[in-house]
A and B are shown apart, each in its own frame.
Chain A
Amino acid sequence: MDLISYGDSIPEGEYKLHSAFANALNFRRGKMLVSLVPPRTGAGPLNLVLKQLPLGAKRLRSTRFYFYIDENRLRKEPDSLYSSSVPAEDADPETVRENIADLASLLVKKAPPKSLAFIFDPKLEKHFTRVFEKHLLARFKKAVAYFLAGNDSRGVKTMRGLGLGLTPSGDDFISGLLAGLNFAKKCLRFDAETRIERIYFYAEGGNLVSNSFLRCSYEGKVSAKVRRLMKALSVKNRKELAAAAAAALNSGHTSGADFCSGLVFALFQEFKSPD
C-alpha cells in the first residue's frame, strides 16, 4: 500500500469507515470526513491518495508522523503533503475576466446534462424533462435569481441540499461559490470576505459529505483539480484552461460541473459588483 499524497487538513485521531465506493473509502470522525482515493481522483485537503484502494479497510488512524490503515502503517513523508490553499499569486483581473468567460463556454459545451451549467445557457434546460426535474429546475432558477439580486442568504437557503447526487447539486454549487470567492479574495484582492461569511452561515445542512466539502471551500482549501483550474484562470493559456476544466469536470456525475458553475458564477458576480 503506497501513499502518494495526503491532504493538509486531516486532523490526528481515529476514524471509522463511513461509506465505501469503488473510487473512494470515506472515514468519519465527528463531523470530519477523510477519503482514501485512487490517483485518478487526485489530491484534496481531506484525501489520502493511495496507489491502490484497500477495499476491505475498516479503520484509519492519523498520528503526527504516520497514517495507519488497519494494520498498515504509512509514513507522512513531507514531500507527499498536498497543500490545498487557494493559490495566492496575484492575477491580472482582465486575464481572469477573459478566462472565466471561456470557462463558462467550456461548461456549456462539456458539462453533463442536468447540471447547473444551464445558468450560462438556457438551452441546457431542455435536459430537465420529467415533472420532478422541471420542479427542480424551477427551484434552481429561483435560487440563482436570489443570488443575482444580491440576496445571498435566500439564495443559499433555496439552493442548499437541492438536487441530484450524493452531494446534492445545490451543495456543490455553493462549494464552488465559496471557492470562487476565496479565489477572488486571494488572487484578485477583491473584498469578498463578507459574502463568504454570509454564504457559509446558511450553507451547512445534514449531509456529512456535503458539509465536509463546504467547510473546505469556506476555509479556502480546494482539491488539486480545482487548484489547477484556478491557476489556469490566472494565466493566458487556453489549452491549459481547457485541460484543467476537463479534469475538474471529471468528478462525480454532475458534481464537477455544479462546482465549476458555482465558481464561475461567483467570479462573474464579483466582476459585476459596483465595489
Chain B
Amino acid sequence: MIKTVIKKGAYFDSVSLMQVAKKLNAVPGVLDSAVVMATKENKGIIKASGLLTPEIQQAGDSDLAIAVSARTQADLDAAFKAADELLNKKPAASAGGAARKAAGLDEAVKMLDGANLAVISVAGRFAGSLAADCLEKGLHVMLFSDNVPVETEVELKKAAAKKGLLVMGPDCGTAIINGAPIAFANSVRRGNVGVVAASGTGAQEVTALVSNEGAGISQCIGTGGRDVKAEVGALTFIQALKMLASDTGTEVILLVSKPPAPEVMKKIAAEVKKIKKPVVAVLLGGAITEKIKDDFYPAKTLEEAAYKAACLGKGLKIGKAKELIYDMNLKAEALAKKEAARKKHSSCLRGLFSGGTFVSEAQVILPELIGAVKSNAPLDKKNKLADSMKLSGHAVIDLGEDEFTVGRPHPMIDFALRNKMIVSEAARSEVSVLLLDLVLGYGSNLKPLDDILPPLAAAFKRNKELSIVVSVTGTETDPQVRSRVVKALEAAGVLVMPSNAGACRLAGEIIRLGNRK
C-alpha cells in the first residue's frame, strides 16, 4: 500500500527532512519511505523503489515529495501523522527572537490584544517615527534604540506626557514593569521599592541588591541617560517620579543617575519635595548638598542606595544599611589582608567593566584608597586615558563605550574583547589586581562561565600573584542562577563580592595594603 504527499513549493531545511525520514522509518508497519525534493533524478530512484505515483511524477524540482509504502492503511495514516507533526512544527525562535511574527506595528497590535507597552529596537533613524506611531496607538514606549536625535526625544516625551504615556529612552536598556523584566534586567522579587533610573547597569545593580536583601521592586522605570541632561530636562525622570508617587504599590522611591545638569537637578529636587514617600537617591560622582526633605536619603554608591531602600522597604531603620555595609567591609578587609600577604609586589589595578555605571562607581570609591584612577569615561576630565587600549597606572575601562562596541555586540553579551584584555593585562608585571563586573539576567550572556573561566585561568597562569576581584550582579531566579556562577568563580580562585562597590573596596584595599609593605 503506497501513499504520497506533495508539498508544493514548500521548503524545509535538510535537518527537518532527515528527522521526518527517520521518524517515518521508525513507524511500525512502514516498509519503505522517501522524503526528498522531487527532482528528475530523485523521481528515478523513487520509481526504481516502487514508490512512484502520478502525483510525484507531476511534481517539480522545488516540491517536496513524501512517499510511504506500508502494510496497512492504519500504518500509512500513522506515518503521515508523524510526518505532519514534524513538518508543521513552527521554527524555533533564534536566540532572543520572538516565535510570533508580525509584518508591522498594526499587525503586532492586533496579534497581542491588550498590550500597552512597545519595546522598540530598530535603527535610531527609524525609531522616532515608530515610537510616535506607538504613542498614537496608546502604547507606552521603551526605546532601546540609541542615535535618536535629541529634538525627536523631546518631541516624543512631550507628546507622550499629554496622553499620560511614558517614553523610556532612547538608549534605555533596563526596565521592570509590573514584575516583567524588559531587555537587560534581572528576575527580582516584587515589593514596594520603586526605581527611577537614568542608568541601565545602575538599575540592574540596585534592583538585584534590593531583591537579594529580601525586599522587592514594584516598578523600575528607565529613562535613558540623556533624559537628565539640560536639553531634555528630565521629562521622563519627573514623569516617572510622579507615577511612582501616586502608585499604591510603591512605598519607597529610589533614584539612580549620574549627576544631572544643575538646572535639571533643581527641577528634580522640587518634584522630590512634593512626594510624601521616602526617597533615596544616588547620583554617582555628584554630591547632593541640599537637605531636600526629612525623608530624603542621599547615597554615595549604588550599594548604599540599594541597602537604604531595602531597609526602608522592609520597615527597618535606615541605620541598618550602614551595618550591612560595615559587615561587608570587615569581610573585605580580612580577604584583602590575606591577598596582600601572598604578594611580593603590588602596584597597579586594572578594572575592565561591561557596565558604564560601574566605571563611574569605581571612580567614586577607588581614589580614596589608591589615589588617582584613569579611565576612558572619567568623572573628572583630567583623569582621561590618552589611549584606551594602552592602560597605565591604576585604570578602569568601560568596554561598553562606542570605541569598543562598533561592529561587535555589547560586552555583557560578547565577552571576547574583555577576555583578551583579561589575559593581556594579567601578563603585565605591574598589574596586581584585576577588577571585573559580571552582569547576569535576561539579555546578558546566558552561559557566562563558559566564556569567562578560560581567560581567568589563563590570567592566573600568567601572573601567579594576581588577584581577580569580580562583582556578580544578579539574583537566584535569573536564568544564569547567581549562586552557581559565584560558586564556579570562587572555585576558579576569584574573589567574588555581592556588589560592585564591595568589589571596588576589596580591590582597592588589596592594592593599598600591598603597596604599604
User: Is B a genuine binding partner of A?
Assistant: yes
Chain A neighbourhood of B44, CB < 8 A: 139
Contact of B39 (CB < 8 Å), options: A23, A79, A207: A207
Q: Which residues of B contact A (CB under 8 A)?
A: 11-18, 21, 25, 31-37, 39-42, 44-46, 48-51, 60-62, 67, 91-99, 101-103, 121-123, 125-126, 130, 407, 409
Contact of A166 (CB < 8 Å), options: B14, B45, B122: B14
What is the 8 Å Cβ interface bit string for chain A, positions 183-226, against chain B (1 contact, 0 not)? 00000000000000000000001111100000000000000000
Q: Which residues of A contact B (CB under 8 A)?
A: 1-2, 4, 18-24, 26, 38, 51-56, 58, 71-74, 77, 79-80, 114, 129-132, 135-136, 139, 158-168, 170, 205-209, 252-255
Contact of A162 (CB < 8 Å), options: B41, B126, B407: B41
Q: Is A24 within 8 A of B13, CB to CB?
A: yes
Chain A facing B: main interface SS: loop
Q: Is A132 within 8 A of B103, CB to CB?
A: no
Given A131-B49, A132-B45, A166-B12 in contact, is the A22-B91 Cβ separation under 8 Å? yes
Chain B neighbourhood of A4, CB < 8 A: 407
Query: How many angstroms from the CA of A253 to the CA of B97 in the assembled complex?
Result: 23
Given A55-B101, A167-B14, A254-B18 in contact, is the A161-B61 Cβ separation under 8 Å? yes
Q: Is B21 within 8 A of A164, CB to CB?
A: yes
Q: Is B14 within 8 A of A254, CB to CB?
A: yes
Q: Is B62 within 8 A of A164, CB to CB?
A: no
Query: How many angstroms from the CA of A220 to the CA of B11 in the assembled complex?
Result: 27
Given A131-B50, A205-B40 in contact, is the A165-B123 Cβ separation under 8 Å? no
| Closest A residue, CB atoms, query B409 | A51
* 27 interchain pairs, CB-CB under 8 A: A1-B123, A23-B94, A24-B13, A55-B101, A56-B102, A71-B130, A132-B33, A132-B49, A135-B45, A136-B45, A139-B41, A139-B45, A161-B39, A161-B41, A162-B45, A164-B17, A164-B35, A165-B18, A165-B36, A166-B17, A168-B36, A168-B37, A168-B42, A170-B41, A209-B11, A252-B13, A252-B15
Whole-angstrom distance from the CB of B5 to the nearest CB of chain A? 15
Q: Is A161 within 8 A of B45, CB to CB?
A: no
Chain A neighbourhood of B49, CB < 8 A: 131-132, 135
Given A56-B101, A72-B123 in contact, is the A168-B39 Cβ separation under 8 Å? yes
Chain B neighbourhood of A72, CB < 8 A: 122-123, 126
Chain A neighbourhood of B17, CB < 8 A: 164-166, 253
Chain B neighbourhood of A161, CB < 8 A: 37, 39-42, 61
Q: Is B61 within 8 A of A21, CB to CB?
A: no
Query: How many angstroms from the CA of A205 to the CA of B37 in the assembled complex?
Result: 12
Whole-angstrom distance from the CB of A142 to the nearest CB of chain B? 11
Chain B neighbourhood of A159, CB < 8 A: 41
Given contacts A23-B13, A166-B11, 19 further A-B contacts (CB under 8 A): A1-B123, A21-B12, A22-B91, A22-B93, A53-B97, A55-B97, A73-B126, A77-B407, A136-B45, A139-B44, A158-B41, A161-B39, A162-B45, A164-B36, A165-B18, A166-B17, A167-B14, A170-B41, A253-B15
Given A132-B32, A132-B49, A206-B60 in contact, is the A165-B14 Cβ separation under 8 Å? yes
Whole-angstrom distance from the CB of A117 to the nearest CB of chain B? 15
Whole-angstrom distance from the CB of B178 to the nearest CB of chain A? 26
Q: Is A52 within 8 A of B62, CB to CB?
A: no
Query: How many angstroms from the CA of A159 to the CA of B39 in the assembled complex?
Result: 11
